[in-house]
Chain A
Amino acid sequence: MSATPTGTTARTARRGATLALLVVPAGFLAVFFVLPVGTIVWTGLAPEGSPELGVLGRVLTDPSVRGVAWFTLWQAVVSTGLTLAVALPGAYVLSRVAFRGRRAIQAAVTVPFVLPTVVVGSAFLALLGPRSPINTAMTVLLGDAAPTLDLRRSVTAILLAHVFFNYAVVVRTVGGLWALIDPRLEDAARVLGASRWQAFREVSLPLLRPAIASAAAIVFLFTFTSFGVVLILGGPGRATIEVEIHRATTQLLDLPLASALAMLQLVAVVASLAVYGRLQRQATSEHALVDADAALRTPRTRGERWFLRGNLAVMAGLLAAPLLVLAERSLVTDAGYGLDHYVSLATDERATVLAVPAGEAIRNSLVFGLGATLVALVVGGLAATAATLGRGRLTSVVDRALMVPLGTSAVTVGFGFLIALDRPLDLRGSPLLVPLAQALIATPFVVRTLLPVLRSIDQRLRDAAAVLGASPLRVWREVDLPIIGRALLVAAGFSFAIAVGEFGATVFVARANLPTMPVAIFRLLGRPGVANFGQAMAMSTLLAAITAAALLAIDRLRVGSVGRF
C-alpha cells in the first residue's frame, strides 16, 4: 500500500478516518464497561479510598484460590481443544459439502449457543442421569445387568456441555470463512500430487488460521469464564473463578476478594487475547475469495459420504438430543403427552406483577433483541472497519478491548452498573440498559465475524479505487460493503439470537414488568408445581424455536440481498 502514488495523503486520511470510526466503539466501551467494572473493582481494592494491594497478595497465595484457578484453566484448555476437534469437521461439512437440509442444520446447530444455561442445564441433567434414554436403551439391550451411566456432577458433564454450547462458535466463525475459500486452490494442490490431508494442511489450513484462532479465542474465553454450566452440571465441589466471584459478591459481600478475583480473571483474559491477537496478525493473508455457494460440492466418494454421515451423527447426538429432551419434557402432562403447557402459557393469566403473559415476554425479548442487534452492529461494524483500515496499535487495542466483556463476570458488570451509572443520568432503572448490556456481549461477535472477511479483502482493490479518486467512504461502500454484506447479516442474526437468549447480564438490569423469555423461564423454574415446570420447558422450547427461526431467516435473507460476483 505504501507504493501508491498518493501514499502519504492516503495514509493521513486513513489515520483520521480510523480515529473517527473508533470514537463510538471506544465511547461505548468506556461508559458501559470500563466505568462500571472499574468502579466496582476500585471499591473492592480501595475500600478507604487508597488501594490496598495486600488484598491481591492474600488472595493469590490462598491455596483454595489457586485450586480454583488451576481447575478454571485446565478445564478451559481441554474444553477448547475438544470443541475444535469435534466442531472443525462439522464446520467443513456445513460450509463445503452440498446436501439436503444443510441450511436448516447450519441454523439449528447455533441454537444451543444462544440458549440460557439455566434452561439447558436441566435438559443435560436428564440426559446424563440414570434414567436417560441411553440407560433405558442399555437396559432393553442387556437386561438388568446393564451398567448405569450417571455423568451428573462430573467434569465430563462440564466438558460435554461446553462442546454443546460452543460448537456453533467454530461452525460460524471458521465455516464463515471456509465457505469463501476458492476450492480450486486445493484442486490445484491435488492435481500436483498432494494427498487430501496434505492439500488441506498446506492450502486451506493456513488460510483458515485467523478464523480458527478467533474461534479458539472465543471458546477459551467462554469456557474459562463458564458459570451456569459449572454450577448446574459440575456439582458443588467444583468452581471456576467466575463462580467464586459470584459467590464473593452476592453471598459473602466480600468485595476485596471479588475484586482480586476479577483482576485475576481479567489478566488471564487479556493475556489470552494478546496471544491470539499475535497469532492472527502473523497469519493474516489476502487471497481470492469466492461466493459461498460456489465452494459447495456434493460428496462423491464413499469416504466423503461417511464423513458427512459421521458429522451429522455427532450433531444429532450432541446437539439435538438435549434439545429434544427439552421439547419432550414440555409435552409431558399428567395424562401422557399433550400441548397443555403451551395452551396454559397462552391462556394462563395469573395477573401478578412477575408472571407476565408469555406473549409479552416474547415481545420484550424481540424488542430488546432488535435494539441490542442494532447497537452491536453499529459499534462492532465501526470497530471492525477501523481495525481493517488502520492496522495500527490503537485499533488492535480497541478490537481486543471489545472482547474483554465476554471474559468478565456478569455479576461484576451488573453490580458495576448499579454503583457507576447513577449520575449524571440515573440509568439504573432504565429499560434501555437491557439492550445495551446485551450489546456488550454481542458486539465482540460482530467484530469477530466481520474482521476475518474484511481482512481477506484484497487491499489492492481498495488502493485501485483510491487511485481512481474514490474517497475512503466510497471505497468502503463500493469495495468492502458488498463483500461483507453476508457477514454483516450473519453478525446480525448472531447478535439477535445472543440477545434473545442472554440471561446473565439481562437478569441484573431487567425490570420486573419487562422480563425477557430467559428471565421468565428462570422465574417459572424457581417455583414448585408441575404446571410451572411444564410451562418453563414449553417457554424454553419456544425460545429455542424463535432463535432457530431467526438464524434460519437470516440465512435465507442473504441470498436475495447480497451481491454475487
Chain B
Amino acid sequence: MRPFRPLPLLLAAALFAAACGDQTTDEPTSPDAADEPITTEDDAATDEAAEPADDVTLTLLTHDSFDVSEDVLASFTADTGIEVQVVPLGDAGTAVNQTILTADSPQGDLLFGVDTTFLSRALDNDIFIPYESPMLEQVPDRYILDPELRATPIDVGDVCLNHDVAFFEEADVDVPTDLADLTDPAYEGMLAVQNPATSSPGLSFLMASIERFGEDGYLEFWEGLVANDVVVTDGWSEAYYEEFSGTGGDRPLVVSYASSPPAEVFFADPQPDEAPTGVIEASCFRQIEFVGILEGTAHEPEAQQLVDFMLSTEFQEDIPLTMFVFPVNEEAELPEVFVEHAVLPSDPFELDPAEIGENREAWIEAWTSTVLR
C-alpha cells in the first residue's frame, strides 16, 4: 500500500497563502485596519506626493449598476486626499433594504442609487442626513424631489419602450405612438415586458401605465396586453437579450431604457451611423437616482465633499458612458453618441415618490392577479 501523498494539497495551501498575503498587503480587511488608502488608487496616485497621515476612506454603498471611470475617482482622491471604496449591494431595491436593515451599524458613509420608486422608503426610515450641496444650483428643480434635501439627485434615466427599427420598416407597420396602441391586434405578440415584482424597469413601466390610464383604467390596459400576447420575463436581460428582436429574440417592442439605443451604437464594432433601435417617447417613465449621506457616518464633511464631486461636471460627464443614464447637472456636456442617438423625453410620466411608496405593493399585487394568474 503506497501512502497518500498530501503534496498537491500543500501546494494549493501554499499558493493560497501566497495569494492571500498578496491581497492583504494592498487590501486591509476591515475598516478598522483601513487607515491606509485602498482600492481605487492606481499606481500614479499612490506615487504622488506624501498624503496626509489622517487620510479618510469613504465607503460608498451602491447597487450593482453603479460605475465610474477610475481616473475620475482618482482625481477626486488627488484633489481631496479622500479615498473612495465602492461597495455594490445588489439591485436597487436590495441596496436600499440592506442599508435600512443595517442602519444601527452602517456599512458605509453614503448610499447611491436610491431611485424614484424606492425614495420614500429610504426617507421614511430616516437613513439620510440632510445636505444642501452648493452644486445643486446647476440642477433643475424638477429633479429635486425631497424638499429637506436628504436625497440629492445625481442622474436621470427614463424607462421607455424600445423598438426594433428594421423590423417595423420591413413589416411596414407604424411604430406605436401611445401606450393605448399596444392593445391593438396589429401589435399582437410584439411586446416583451418585465415582472414589476422582480425588475425595476418592469415596475417603472407599470407606473407609466398607471399614470397614463389612471388607477381605474390601468388593469384594463393590462388585460388588453395579455389578450394581445404580451410576454413577461423576470429580469431585464431575459427580455432584452432573449425576446427583443433587436438583439436575438422575435419581439420588436421591449421595455428598456432611453439610453439603450446609444448603448447599442457605442458597443458595436464598427459603430453604425443610425441606432438599430429607437425609443417610443410617449411610453417613458422618469427615474431619478439619488445619493444620500448615511446617518451614523463618522465622516460627514468628507461625505459632503463627495456629494459635491458627484454633482461636478467632471463626474456628471462621466455618467453617460459608464452608467448609461443622463446627468442632472445642466452644465455637463453629453458625449457625441448621446447627442446623436439618445432622447431624454421632455414630458415623461412621473409619479410622486410618496404616492409610489404608499401604493407600490398594492399595485404590484393587483398587477400580478391580472397578468399572471
Contact = CB atoms under 8 A, between A and B. Distances in A.
Interface of A: 43, 121-122, 125-126, 129-131, 152-153, 231-232, 235-237, 247, 249-253, 255, 334, 340, 351-355, 367, 370-371, 373-374, 377, 411, 415, 418-419, 422-423, 425-432, 481-482, 485, 488-489, 492, 507-508, 510-514, 522-523, 525-533, 557, 561-565
B138 interface: no
B197 A529 contact: no
A371 B20 contact: yes
A512 B70 CA distance: 12
Contacts of A492: 9, 12
B271 to A, nearest CB: 11
A513 B73 CA distance: 13
B372 A529 contact: no
A508 B63 CA distance: 11
B59 A426 contact: no
B39 A529 contact: no
Nearest to A513: B39
A411 B1 CA distance: 47
B142 interface: no
Contacts of B177: none
B305 interface: no
Main DSSP-derived SS at the B contact region: mixed
6 contacts: A129-B242, A236-B234, A237-B373, A253-B96, A418-B102, A530-B267
A429 B59 contact: yes
Contacts of A126: 242, 248
A253 B257 CA distance: 26
Interface string B81-95: 000011111110110
A534 to B, nearest CB: 9
Contacts of B94: 249-250, 411
Residue from A130, A371, A564 having most chain B Cβ neighbours under 10 A: A371
Contacts of B19: 367, 370-371
Contact of A232 (B97, B98, B234): B234
A429 B241 contact: no
B40 interface: yes
Interface of B: 1-5, 7-9, 12-13, 15-16, 19-20, 23, 27, 29-32, 39-40, 59, 64-71, 73, 85-91, 93-94, 96-98, 100-102, 105, 107, 121, 195, 197-198, 231-238, 240-242, 247-250, 256-257, 260, 263-264, 266-269, 322, 324, 361, 372-373
Residue from A236, A340, A377 having most chain B Cβ neighbours under 10 A: A236
A212 B91 CA distance: 39
B86 A512 contact: yes
B250 A131 contact: yes
B12 A373 contact: yes
A253 B121 contact: yes
Contact of B267 (A249, A428, A489, A531): A531
Contact of A374 (B13, B88, B260, B269): B13
B241 A353 contact: no
Contacts of B90: 250, 507-508
Nearest to B12: A370
Nearest to A510: B88
Given A352-B70, A529-B267, A533-B241, A419 B102 contact: yes
Contacts of B232: 235-236
Contacts of A532: 267
Contacts of A153: 231
B68 A352 contact: yes
A352 B93 contact: no
A484 to B, nearest CB: 8
Given A353-B40, A371-B16, A371-B20, A429 B85 contact: yes
Nearest to B368: A236
Contacts of B260: 528
B66 to A, nearest CB: 7
Contact of B8 (A121, A371, A523, A561): A561
A417 B369 CA distance: 34
B67 A564 contact: no
Contact of A251 (B5, B65, B198): B198
A250 to B, nearest CB: 4
